[in-house]
A and B are shown apart, each in its own frame.
Chain A
Amino acid sequence: MTSVVRTRGLVKRYGRLRAVDGIDLDVRAGDVYGFLGANGSGKTTTVRMLLGLVLPTSGEVELLGERMPRAARRVLPRVGALVEGPAAYGHLSGRANLALFDAAGPGGPRRTRRRRVEEVLEQVGLGGIDRRPVRAYSLGMRQRLGLAAALLRRPELLVLDEPTNGLDPQGITEIRELLLDLHRGGTTVFLSSHLLAEVEQLCTRVGVLDRGRLVLQDELATLTAPTGATVVHTPAADRVPAVLDGRVVAVDGSRVVVRGADPAEVNALLVGAGVPVTGLALQRPSLEEVVLAAAGSSLDRVEVHR
């Protein structure tokens, strides 16, 4: 598999603070890559370094196989980006904004501009937008417009920083469908977010950033693979240890965790002994548990030093 985004020992230092501290990202073609991390963990700085906005202190960035920021002129037309919220010229209409952005760089032929603008507006659900200035748009509409701007060039790689910010639940679902649709069409998506649920629903690979370090990078399926235990729900939890001697890992109210990767076998033993079973599942760690285990406490916390 070819790498679409690759960094080696990427470091960004601000004075004594190492905002990004030697990370090796590896995003492959066809991934929906979830880039997770608490606020202030260095996500946005990393995204900006990928796009050549912030220059690394040391380390390398490769985008679509070429070195950044050296090859920006060749690479960036093939990349769509949404960085830290959308931005547009408030006194112009959405269409005028898209046309201006398209004309501002290479790779967007003027001939097809009008058609492409209409297409992406349609795609993000702003097809019927009128001539009112962006100033009058709601936050959700601006977010959609920002996404439309990212899609203007039919990019091979989408780099999205918190793309569902400001959207209502219906909007979030819509954008998720759109991203999955684009992904089926062959677009690689790099999604930076602090919303675990969003990443869990969308992504195939996950990287977790904590205080500037990449503490985890793996397939989502591997991270949330069954642990080899079975979770049993029963109103008679107190009788389970007697039946499954020595296999009970934990009891929590009506929820019992039992060693054994075959729920059917566990079920048969319990029912055979007359213990009623109301729920049965393989134990899988949630992404939240995986991330919390890998990363430390929230960076927003400011502890008292005594």
Chain B
Amino acid sequence: MIAVELRKLFRRPRTWATIAVLNALPVLVAVLVRLTDLVPRPGEGPPFLSAVLTNGSLFPLAALAIVLPLFLPIAVAVVAGDSVAGEAQAGTLRYLLVRPAGRTLLLVAKLVAVVAFVLVTVLVVAAVGYVVGTTLFDAQPLTAATGGTSVSGTGLTQQELVGRTLTAIGYVVVSMLGVAAFGLFFSTLTDSPLAAALGALAVLVASSLLFTLDAASPIAPYLPTRYWLAFVDLFRDPILWRDVVRGLALQGVYVGVLLAAAWANFTTKDVTS
């Protein structure tokens, strides 16, 4: 069943179109920065972008930071929102269930497929970012001697940089799992994939909005988007683990609760689509 869902997801032209569109923005940013040499000052604009001019191999991180606030969550919400509701709308859900694909198993398979999508998307963005970064900008060959530069200004060895980049990618994936959980939960509530995706996005927009509001500060630590950009802290010296750990815990709680709700709803629901 899991293999079936993966095959369905990755044989779908739309999946690859989404990933392609997702990569277009960072590439455009890279080209513009290359042509104009204008980058935001450190601390402004997307993180890491200012460092790219001196070291192109940091561009994968800049690319992730560019797509993280909006593009990536939209893509994840659309795919997750489509997972069950899309089958319901197409009418294929009933045929999967009478096959019979058990409801719990189907939900797990959908979840795995969405996670695979998140993983592939993030890796592709990082990989394309690396290729673009190293071809368009001066890529300092990251030897142990030269290394990279941390956000705090001290040097990082190549090993440290690679390790922290992979950790950052992992952190972004976990952040997106929260979005996926919202999408999957809404997807079991409705037969309209659009409604499910928009529901998940509405949560994220509301969360980002509340985050900027001082009056909402008491609930700020519990907003799903609160710690999304904490992966930047992985590049401080020493690593600032506080927000990263809180972010992981928060996403864990959201994912756990929402998946339990999705399961409870889907396994007891009348399939009338």
Contact = CB atoms under 8 A, between A and B. Distances in A.
Interface of A: 48, 51-55, 72-73, 76-77, 79, 81, 83-92, 96, 100-106, 149
Nearest to B88: A87
B101 A105 contact: yes
B95 A85 contact: no
Contacts of A103: 1, 3-4
Interface in B76-102: 90-92, 94-102
A91 B270 contact: no
A149 B13 contact: no
A52 B7 CA distance: 26
A85 B95 CA distance: 11
Nearest to A149: B95
B270 A55 contact: yes
Contact of B4 (A55, A90, A104, A106): A104
A72 B272 CA distance: 18
27 contacts: A48-B94, A48-B272, A51-B97, A52-B98, A53-B94, A53-B270, A54-B270, A54-B271, A72-B100, A73-B102, A76-B98, A77-B100, A79-B98, A81-B95, A81-B98, A83-B94, A83-B98, A87-B92, A88-B90, A91-B13, A96-B11, A100-B4, A100-B8, A101-B95, A103-B3, A104-B96, A105-B100
Given A52-B100, A53-B270, A76-B100, A92 B11 contact: yes
Interface string B100-117: 111000000000000000
A224 B97 CA distance: 38
B181 to A, nearest CB: 23
A160 to B, nearest CB: 12
Contact of B90 (A55, A83, A87): A87
B102 A53 contact: no
Contacts of B96: 101, 104-105
B5 to A, nearest CB: 9
Interface string B1-44: 10110011001110000000000000000000000000000000
B212 interface: no
A53 B11 contact: no
Nearest to A51: B98
Given A54-B272, A72-B100, A87 B8 contact: no
Contacts of B99: 76-77, 101-102, 104-105
Nearest to A69: B100
Given A54-B271, A55-B268, A90-B90, 7 more contacts: A55-B270, A77-B99, A79-B98, A84-B94, A87-B94, A105-B100, A106-B100
Given A48-B271, A48-B272, A104 B94 contact: no
Contacts of A105: 1, 96, 99-101
Contacts of A96: 11
Nearest to B11: A92
Contacts of A51: 94, 97-98
Contacts of A88: 90, 92
Interface string B239-271: 000000000000000000000000000001011
A113 to B, nearest CB: 12
A51 B272 CA distance: 12
Contacts of A102: 99
B101 A104 contact: yes
User: Looking at B13, B94, B96, which has the most chain A CB atoms within 10 Å of its CB?
Assistant: B94
User: Looking at A55, A87, A89, which has the most chain B CB atoms within 10 Å of its CB?
Assistant: A87
Contacts of A55: 268, 270
A257 to B, nearest CB: 46
A254 B8 CA distance: 65
User: Looking at B11, B99, B101, which has the most chain A CB atoms within 10 Å of its CB?
Assistant: B99
Nearest to A83: B94
Contacts of A79: 98
List the 7 shortest-distance A-B pairs measured between CB atoms, nearest first: A87-B91, A105-B99, A76-B100, A53-B271, A54-B270, A104-B101, A87-B92
